[in-house]
A and B are shown apart, each in its own frame.
Chain A
Amino acid sequence: MTINLTGTDRVKRGMAEMQKGGVIMDVINAEQARIAEAAGAVAVMALERVPSDIRAAGGVARMADPRIMEEVMGAVTIPVMAKARIGHITEARILEAMGVDYIDESEVLTPADEEYHLRKSEFTVPFVCGCKDLGEAARRIGEGASMLRTKGEPGTGNIVEAVRHLRKVNAQVRKIVHMSEDELMTEAKILGAPYDVLLQIKHAGKLPVVNFAAGGVATPADAALMMELGADGVFVGSGIFKSENPEKFAKAIVEATTHFQDYKLLVEISKDLGIPMKGIEISRLSAGDRMQDRGW
């Protein structure tokens, strides 16, 4: 009998395929994780602080205390994800050693390396990374990311940047699919994208990994909008546990993500939820506070 092959592209990307059409929620402890699971989350992201609190706290944001991930992994049966700083090989290895199911090499934390991302293909655990455009998406895939998400602008409760990033990536994918193969190398140069990843996209007619929306989802309508625009699923960071009624918001966002084109149902889903998280207008952010500009 042949041996089990672990950590293959198919196994790592396949894990993300199973999350499609679902909602991944940020949680900071076991109690929140249980609320997320009960609401129908497909996974939770275990963190020390949600992005809006990271913004408020300032200073350096790092990988969370392993105790938090352990607590969350013990509390739920759905997959548990966690964040490592961009380029922080050791934080990522620690998370892998703990048995975390997916690592987010995330711009929400303060980058550890301002030049290089992790060589994610070397890990058995799969990675998700943020992207604003196809060049960035393709570079992350080239490094071994098994899942993408839009960066949006985390912790703002403002969907505008996530919309911009998803539209941009999808428009660029369409362009690649329809362009002549003769033109692909120059396009790779312009985008700063690995040629072979663009070639794969051209042949498959789509990205080779799933692409979720993230960074600003605060209401069921926001989640449904991202699905309408072609996201494979949704990450909700601060939007649930910074709302007035996390249980209701969590459930409503899950339902809206599945039934994103049933507008009459969305009316019912959106009713009487209470106050969503308070948002931030993007133009009020100083350049240094824009998390989406982290990543290279």
Chain B
Amino acid sequence: MVKIGVLALQGAIREHIHSIEACEAKAITVKSVEDLALVEGLILPGGESTAMRKLIDRFEMLEPLRQFALDGKPMFGTCAGLILLAKELVGYDYSHVGKLDAIVERNSYGRQVDSFEIDLNIEGVATDFPAVFIRAPQIVSVEENVEILATHGDRIVMVKQGHLLGCSFHPELTDDHRIMTYFIEMVKESLANEVHVK
């Protein structure tokens, strides 16, 4: 069974665990560098990116997370997780994991009263996916190597770059596991390739 980790410093951890298990993969909560070594793919969940970053720094997880991405292991960031993955953040002179070649803007839809849900079509993944946007970031622009999987109006809200997947919304707040199924397939594929290379 493929082992999927959820970065478990803060946020909607339980929901992702539930979704992973519903897709018949093994879910592991990742609170430390040791935990990270146990997983074949990692989800960076929704939550508060500033709070997660403080805890990442305090427990010296930033370089191991970057290395995880450099090793070609799949990572999937939802909302705050997308912010953690992005190479550049509007209004900030630093990034976090920073391996997704995209510029992301935090809280780009406004405050909580502007949060919303809508059905989205996601290229190659799902049609009419119930997408919940909560104080959501948007992907302002991407480099050529990044595939745009979903847009909402004129905003980019889901992208894929090789083994990295990111979205502005929260699939974990629904019982729809199509995106999780897609990510788990990415992880299985990366494991197959790894064996092949060896």
The interface of chain A, by Cβ under 8 A from chain B, is 2-8, 10-11, 14-15, 17-22, 37-43, 77-79, 96, 99-102, 124-126, 251, 254-255, 258-259, 262
A251, B110: Cα distance in complex, Å:
28
Q: Are B132 and A258 in contact (CB under 8 A)?
A: no
Q: Which of A11, A77, A102, A126 has the most CB of B within 10 A?
A: A11
A39, B51: Cα distance in complex, Å:
8
Q: When A and B form their complex, which 7 residue pairs have the shortest distance between CB atoms, in order from nearest?
A: A40-B54, A4-B116, A101-B112, A42-B48, A21-B10, A99-B111, A40-B51
A270, B112: Cα distance in complex, Å:
34
A37, B80: Cα distance in complex, Å:
15
Residues of A within 8 A of B134 (CB): 11, 14-15, 18
Nearest A residue to B53, CB-CB = A40
Q: Are A6 and B114 in contact (CB under 8 A)?
A: yes
Nearest A residue to B112, CB-CB = A101
Residues of A within 8 A of B111 (CB): 79, 99-101
Minimum CB–CB distance for B188 against chain A, Å: 28
Total chain B interface residues with beta-carbon distance under 8 A: 38
A5-B117, A99-B111 are known contacts. Are A259 and B31 too (CB-CB below 8 A)? yes
Residues of A within 8 A of B41 (CB): none
Q: Are B11 and A6 in contact (CB under 8 A)?
A: no
Q: Is the CB of B15 closer than 8 A to any CB of chain A?
A: yes
Nearest B residue to A37, CB-CB = B50
**Sample (30) of A-B pairs whose CB atoms are under 8 Å apart:** A2-B119, A4-B133, A6-B114, A6-B115, A6-B116, A7-B113, A8-B117, A11-B132, A14-B170, A14-B173, A17-B46, A18-B47, A18-B170, A19-B47, A20-B14, A21-B8, A21-B13, A21-B47, A22-B11, A38-B54, A40-B55, A78-B50, A79-B48, A99-B110, A99-B111, A99-B112, A100-B111, A254-B54, A254-B55, A258-B10
A18-B11, A101-B112, A126-B112 are known contacts. Are A10 and B117 too (CB-CB below 8 A)? yes
Nearest B residue to A3, CB-CB = B118
Nearest A residue to B114, CB-CB = A6
Selected from A15, A19, A39, A262, the residue in CB contact (under 8 A) with B115 is A15
A17-B15, A77-B106, A254-B55 are known contacts. Are A43 and B48 too (CB-CB below 8 A)? yes
Q: Is the CB of B58 closer than 8 A to any CB of chain A?
A: yes
Nearest B residue to A23, CB-CB = B51
Q: Are B54 and A39 in contact (CB under 8 A)?
A: yes
A258, B13: Cα distance in complex, Å:
12
Minimum CB–CB distance for A272 against chain B, Å: 16
A11-B115, A78-B51 are known contacts. Are A18 and B13 too (CB-CB below 8 A)? no
A6-B116, A40-B50, A77-B106 are known contacts. Are A20 and B173 too (CB-CB below 8 A)? no
Residues of A within 8 A of B12 (CB): 17-18, 20
A158, B135: Cα distance in complex, Å:
34
Residues of A within 8 A of B17 (CB): none
A3-B118, A21-B11, A77-B106 are known contacts. Are A10 and B132 too (CB-CB below 8 A)? yes
| Chain B 106-141 interface residues, beta-carbon cutoff 8 Å to A | 106-107, 110-119, 132-135
Q: Is the CB of B9 closer than 8 A to any CB of chain A?
A: yes
A99, B15: Cα distance in complex, Å:
27
Nearest B residue to A97, CB-CB = B113
Residues of B within 8 A of A259 (CB): 31
Q: Are B112 and A255 in contact (CB under 8 A)?
A: no
Selected from A11, A22, A255, the residue in CB contact (under 8 A) with B117 is A11
Nearest A residue to B45, CB-CB = A18
Residues of A within 8 A of B8 (CB): 21
Minimum CB–CB distance for A206 against chain B, Å: 10
Selected from A7, A38, A42, A102, the residue in CB contact (under 8 A) with B47 is A42
A14-B134, A255-B55 are known contacts. Are A19 and B112 too (CB-CB below 8 A)? no
Q: Is the CB of B97 closer than 8 A to any CB of chain A?
A: no
Residues of B within 8 A of A255 (CB): 55, 58
A96, B114: Cα distance in complex, Å:
11
Minimum CB–CB distance for B146 against chain A, Å: 24
